[in-house]
Amino acid sequence: MRVVLTRREGLDSRDGVAIFIVSLAQALVELNHDVKIVVGSLRSRAEYLRLLSPRLDLSVHALSNTPPTGFKSILAWLRGKRAIDSFRPDLVLHSEAMPIPMRGTIIQVVHDLQPRTGRLAPLWRSIRRFSFKRCHHVVATTTELRDELVRDLGMPPSKLSVIPKCIDRQAYQGLNLSRRERAILHAGTLPYKDPAASIRAFGVIDDPSVRLYITGDITASVQEAVRVLPGRLQHCVTLVGEADGATVRGLHNRVRIAAFPTLYAVPVASATVMEAIAAGTPIVGSSRLSRDVLVDGENGLVVDTNPVTMAAACKAVLDDDALWLRLSAGADRMVRKFDAFRVAEQYLNLARGRKRNRMTAADRRFETDCELTNEHNRHLDHAL
């Protein structure tokens, strides 16, 4: 098949959508499909390569060097439509609502809910409704997201499929327990990632033999949270910054715990959580993570993110080898459903199903035409 993956934004950050697009594109290429990624912008291909570290040289078509806005964005995507149509795709996967008609089977993939409050909320809801009505399939990446779309847009559940985000499992080689560092990884410093919660819990653990790694932009609030730790613990915290993909994967592979005190309004499929799962790393996370990626007692512990409770859970996984091994084994079982090749086949099957339905409809029309022709011939024979 000829497959296009689109995103209105760029591939200049190591966020969940970018990780999903690259992982899925690689799997499709390795399944011998012709794949093109079309994005709104790409400031620097070198930065894309550094942050995402793709294994394959993927075809990426950027509409601009800088994110287009307003009327320029509309013009850019009209050019993008021409480029996509000229590729003659069999399947187009949109990672954000895209109200522009295109060739092939169109699938809208919903990774999160766009703002539902504020001045532009009605506009976003209208765009999403318009886009969903004009595509062939709508896919939510978590069960909770599907349920919220049903409530928010009044869509019947039968119109929505649930297919998870995916991960390139080949990029993760989690170390066995004896080689793991006595360390905790907190990935991401955006406010909803709540890095301060991990730092406060680290302070309650109060064990200089444990390290805390924090990836993402080094913000003033993160620096302040580290500064209020006791002096003997401050040097045990490493602020990694916006690390490249290989570095982040390496951290997931070698730490003993991944901490996710995340504050999602609606639980979504965090690719950074999937990275921990792919590395066989137990998770200590909030109840706001999707139950599709964190199952209490299976691949991690679901906790209240107040410092004492979170610290107790982290300490249990740090100190109890049997618990760690059980949770790591659970992660190894769970990661199979996020495997990029498995997810790719689910999307391809949606396209194949539509193609079969089209062929069936055509066959029905052909059979009807044959029946009418035969009936006409019988009348003609009778007349003669």
Q: Based on the domain organization, do 193 and 140 belong to the same domain?
A: no
Which among 162, 183, 214 is the end of a domain?
Answer: 162
105 and 181 belong to one structural domain? no
Residue span of the structural domain in which 279 resides: 169-338
- As a whole number of angstroms, the distance between CA 333 and CA 50 comes to 30
pLDDT digits (tens, 9 = 90+) for 294-337: 999 999 999 999 999 999 999 999 999 999 999 999 999 999 99
The predicted-structure confidence for 150-207, as pLDDT tens digits, reads as follows 887 788 888 899 999 999 999 999 999 999 999 999 999 999 999 999 999 999 999 9
374 within some domain: no
Q: 10 Å Cβ neighbour count for 304?
A: 12
For the stretch 340-377, pLDDT in tens is 999 999 999 999 987 666 544 444 444 444 444 444 34
Q: Residues for the chain: how many in total?
A: 384
DSSP states along 271-322: HHHHHHHHTT--EEE-TTS-TTT--BTTTEEE---SHHHHHHHHHHHHH-HH
Q: Residue 380 falls within a domain, yes or no?
A: no
Q: Which residue has the tokens 């993570």?
A: 289
Q: Determine if residue 142 is left, alpha or beta; phi over 0 gives left, psi from -120 to 50 gives alpha, anything else beta.
A: beta
User: Which residues does 9 contact at the CB level (< 8 Å), separation at least 6?
Assistant: 17, 39, 40, 41, 67, 96
Residues 217, 310, single domain; the answer is yes
Q: How far apart are CA 14 and CA 24, in angstroms?
A: 15
In a domain, 292, yes or no: yes
Whether residue 92 lies inside any domain: the answer is yes
Buried-state track 156-180, b at ≥16 Cβ within 10 A, e below 16 = eeeebbbbbbbbbbebbebbeeeeb
Instruction: Look at the alpha carbons of 191, 194, 199, 200 in this order and tell me if their dihedral is positive or negative.
Output: positive
Cα–Cα separations (whole angstroms), residue 93 to 64, 133, 271: 20, 15, 18
Q: Which of 170, 313, 326, 316 is nearest to 253 (CA)?
A: 170
Flag whether 89 is in a domain: yes
Is residue 184 located within the same domain as residue 122?
Answer: no
21 and 137 in one domain?
A: yes
358 domain-assigned: no
Last residue of a domain, one of 323, 338, 353: 338
* pLDDT average, residue stretch 118-143: 83
Q: Are residues 141 and 262 in the same domain?
A: no
Residue 340 and residue 336: Cα distance in Å, rounded? 9
**Are 150 and 178 part of one and the same domain?**
no
How many structural domains comprise the chain? Answer: 2
Helix (H, G, I), strand (E, B) or coil at 119: coil
Provide the strand spans (E) within the chain: 2-10, 34-41, 60-62, 91-94, 105-110, 137-140, 160-162, 181-187, 211-215, 237-241, 255-260, 283-285, 300-302
Same domain, 81 and 186: no
d(CA 280, CA 284): 13
Residue 181 · residue 328 · CB < 8 Å: no
**189 and 42, same structural domain?**
no
Kindly state whether residue 347 falls inside one of the protein's structural domains. no
Do residues 196 and 222 make contact, with C-beta atoms less than 8 angstroms apart?
yes
129/20 same-domain check: yes
What is residue 126's DSSP assignment?
H
CATH number of the domain encompassing residue 99: 3.40.50.2000
The structure tokens listed for 164 are: 């998870």
Domain match, 191 and 132 both: no
Q: Residue 287, Cβ neighbours under 10 Å: how many?
A: 14
**Which phi and psi angles does 46 have, rounded to 5°?**
-60, -40
* Pair (54, 95) in one structural domain: yes
> Looking at residues 29-36, what average pLDDT do you find?
98
User: Does residue 260 belong to any structural domain of this protein?
Assistant: yes
pLDDT tens per residue across span 234-286: 999 999 999 999 999 999 999 999 999 999 888 887 889 999 999 999 999 99
pLDDT given for residue 381 in this prediction = 44
How far CA 344 is from CA of 22, 26, 33, 61, 288, in Å, comes to: 12, 10, 11, 21, 27
